């Protein structure tokens, strides 16, 4: 019985050691997943912060676009007002015929905006450029014709001054719009990368949870076996004590019987040796 219990205890100890090793292995895996998850979460946070910085820069440049666009449009409106005056005088005096400078200017502006903002085939862009050149030449000739009138020349000079100033603000509008677009693209790229790293971090967290649950299950089984081993220890210790007590009792019975046999020999007058006398003395029969 004792041997059987000791064998079972050894078996449980071996299984407990395997469970402990498995638990430690999965705890190690969980730690690796957690570390990678934390690294990815940190990177996600950094990317979002960088994207927010790009957003601030984009918004600043967009404000510059709006501000310069407002100044540009205001100057263009002033130029158009002057051109309207010129057209009024032209019609009144019948100075020239055909389209007005204001109409030509607006149409040229519209076509130039189309050229700058729309994606055109090489053939269509070439045709548009030719049309713009043609209309600019028409505008130039009509302007030279009108400038022969001193009053009209003064107005046209004023209008051109407004147009030149508006052109400078238009350059700034385009410059700031390009910068705003650049930082907008950077912001979008950062947010896109942040979404990817966040998804990777979530995947690592799922792996961490699974590894931790596996490690916890091995730990639970390990603790259960440890309790079994402790219970076996208690039973084994009890059996050893019981076996020892039984052996001591048996030895005492045999010792007493041996002493009684020697005492009987003594009473019968048989001669006893020194060992026999010591036995009777220790047993209390002498």
Measured distance between the N- and C-terminal CA atoms of the chain, rounded to whole angstroms: 42
Q: What are phi and psi of 271, to 5 degrees?
A: -80, 130
Domain boundaries defined on the chain: 37-198
Chain-wide mean pLDDT for the chain? 84
- Provide the b/e sequence for 149-169 (b: ≥16 CB within 10 Å): beebeebbebbeebbebbeeb
Using pLDDT thresholds of 50, 70 and 90, give the confidence band for residue 5.
Answer: low
pTM over 0.75: no
105 CB-near residues (< 8 Å, 6+ apart): 79, 80, 83, 139, 163
8 CB-near residues (< 8 Å, 6+ apart): 232
The DSSP symbol for 160 reads H
Q: What is the mean pLDDT of residues 144-168?
A: 86
- Name the token pair of 181: 């677009």
Distance of CA 49 to the CA centre of its chain: 12
Give the residue with greater pLDDT, 188 vs 88: 188
Q: Give the pLDDT of residue 152.
A: 80
Closest CA relative to residue 17, chosen from 211, 225, 234: 225
Q: Give the pLDDT of residue 161.
A: 93
The pLDDT tens digits of the residues spanning 257-286 come to 776 776 677 677 666 666 765 665 666 655
Distance of CA 278 to the CA centre of its chain: 90
174 CB-near residues (< 8 Å, 6+ apart): 116
Calculate the alpha carbon distances from 158 to 137, 167, 192 in Å.
Answer: 20, 14, 50
Helices within the chain (DSSP H only): 2-93, 101-117, 122-146, 150-267, 274-283
Give the residue with greater pLDDT, 122 vs 238: 122
Q: Give the pLDDT of residue 245.
A: 62
Could you give the angle at the alpha carbon of 192 between the alpha carbons of 186 and 197, nearest 5°? 120
The pLDDT tens digits of the residues spanning 187-199 come to 999 999 999 999 9
Task: State what percent of residues in the chain have pLDDT above 90.
Answer: 43
Q: What are phi and psi of 56, to 5 degrees?
A: -60, -45
Q: Is the pLDDT of residue 212 over 70?
A: yes
Q: Is the pLDDT of residue 207 over 60?
A: yes
- Name the token pair of 225: 């076996």
Closest CA relative to residue 35, chosen from 210, 218, 201: 201
If you search the block for the tokens 């676009």, which residue do you land on? Answer: 65
């Amino acid at each position: 019985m004792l041997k059987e219990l000791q064998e079972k205890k050894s078996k449980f100890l071996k299984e407990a050691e395997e469970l402990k090793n498995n638990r430690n292995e999965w705890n190690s895996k969980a730690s690796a997943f957690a570390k990678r998850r934390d690294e990815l979460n940190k990177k996600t946070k950094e990317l979002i912060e960088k994207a927010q910085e790009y957003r601030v820069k984009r918004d600043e440049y967009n404000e510059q676009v709006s501000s310069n666009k407002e100044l540009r449009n205001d100057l263009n409106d002033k130029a158009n007002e002057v051109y309207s005056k010129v057209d009024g005088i032209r019609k009144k005096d019948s100075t020239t015929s055909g389209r007005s400078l204001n109409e030509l200017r607006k149409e040229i502006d519209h076509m130039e905006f189309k050229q700058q903002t729309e994606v055109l085939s090489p053939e269509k862009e070439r045709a548009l450029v030719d049309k713009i050149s043609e209309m600019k030449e028409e505008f130039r000739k009509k302007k030279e014709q009108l400038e022969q009138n001193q009053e009209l020349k003064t107005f046209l000079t004023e209008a051109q001054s407004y147009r030149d100033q508006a052109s400078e603000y238009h350059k700034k509008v385009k410059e700031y719009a390009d910068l705003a677009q650049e930082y907008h693209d950077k912001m979008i790229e950062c947010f896109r990368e942040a979404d990817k790293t966040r998804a990777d971090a979530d995947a690592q967290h799922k792996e961490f949870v699974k590894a931790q649950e596996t490690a916890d299950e091995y730990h639970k089984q390990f603790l259960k076996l440890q309790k079994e081993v402790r219970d076996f220890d208690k039973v084994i210790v009890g059996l050893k004590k019981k076996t020892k007590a039984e052996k001591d009792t048996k030895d005492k019975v045999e010792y007493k019987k041996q002493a009684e046999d020697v005492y009987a020999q003594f009473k019968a007058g048989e001669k006893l040796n020194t060992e026999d006398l010591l036995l009777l003395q220790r047993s209390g029969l002498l």
